Amino acid sequence: MLALVSPSSAPAKPKPPAAAAVAATSTESEVIRGARLQTVLARSGFSPGLIDGKPGRKTKIALEQFQIAKGLTVSGVADEATAEALRAATGLDCVATATSSGPWTRMYRVSDADLALVTGPIPADWNERAQLEKSGYADVQELLGERGWCSAEFVASLNPGVDLAALTAGEEVVLPDVPDFLTGKGKSASLPRLARLEVNLTEKFVRGFDDSGAQVMLAHCSIAKAQEKRPIGELKVKVVAMDPEYTFDPKDWPEIDNVTGKLRIAPGPRNPVGAAWVGLDKPGYGIHGTVRPQDIGKTGSHGCFRLTNWDAARLARAVRIGMVVEVRE
């Protein structure tokens, strides 16, 4: 016979730590210091890639580009002048002090809309993939990683003892304090209106400039694996689409031999072009989101420029039709 457990005696789910627990302190761990810096850079429009508490090449490039944009000494280090400029841009301190301006994390409440985007692992077979009604996340932890612009592993480290797979609507977790890239709302959600983009193939990043010629953003990207598929020169933005669907054409994927005709792949964050598409005037080329944010800058695309979903969505809201995209080696 099964024993019934009353609500009062049932074991409570572990609660995530309060946001203040990972806020500004003078004893922050190296990982937390790294994540704080990455979060502030992301808020400023100069993307460090994934927020993971392990600043590396992408974080250094973001710092250098921010310093260039602000006319500071280029060191790739968050020195005093850089920290002050980041504070002015975001209202947050990238280095914790006794008088830091506020926490770099926030409490995020899981919604029914979030859970509806969790559709399970994406099938490897394209014919099966075309049967999906939504190209959603593999699991809740993957979804939360994108909500925090961070790695799924870092979500777990911010929420020790929390069973992320068992979260239900209304429950809260700790995430880096970054904007909602799906709605474009929140702190530092929008980039300034852009007048020109520049893609650097060697460094694998995209820079954005405003009408005055000032650099106002940086995003890391993946480029074509085959050099002949890299469109060097001047291109222009032709179309912009949020939450796009994708047409799989087997002629563009010679390595796939079991698809006989074009397939429609449903919209969603794990669609091959991710959360946003900025189509260029060279047929088949664009700047877009990705299925695997952890691979940005590491793997080659079929020809397009891949960004993280949050960078792609942010960029898509800031570009204008007809603007120049200069691709340089």
Q: What domains can you pick out in the chain, each with its CATH number? A: 15-185 (no CATH), 196-328 (2.40.440.10)
CA distance 264 to 247: 5
Asked whether residue 252 carries a pLDDT value surpassing 70, the answer given is yes
- How many CB atoms are located within 10 Å of the residue 128 CB? 10
Residue 20 has pLDDT above 50, yes or no: no
pLDDT tens for each residue of 110-120: 999 999 999 99
* 205: Cα within 13 Å, side-chain hemisphere: 19
Which residues, other chains included, contact 318 with Cβ-Cβ below 8 Å and sequence gap of 6+? 190, 191, 192, 193, 194, 208, 217
Choose among 176, 154, 153: nearest CA to 40.
176
CA gyration radius for the chain?
A: 21
CA-to-CA separations, 145 to 48, 157, 176, 292, in angstroms, rounded: 15, 11, 9, 11
Q: Does the pLDDT value for residue 22 go beyond 70? A: no
What is the average pLDDT score of the chain?
89
Q: How many Å apart are CA 52 and CA 154, to the nearest integer?
A: 6
Q: Give the Cα separation of 92 and 189 in Å (integer).
A: 15
CA distances from 221 to 115, 116, 190, 297 (A): 28, 28, 19, 5
Q: What is the pLDDT of residues 58-94, one digit of tens each?
A: 999 999 999 999 999 999 999 999 999 999 999 889 9
pLDDT of residue 181: 84
150 phi/psi in degrees, rounded to 5:
-135, 175
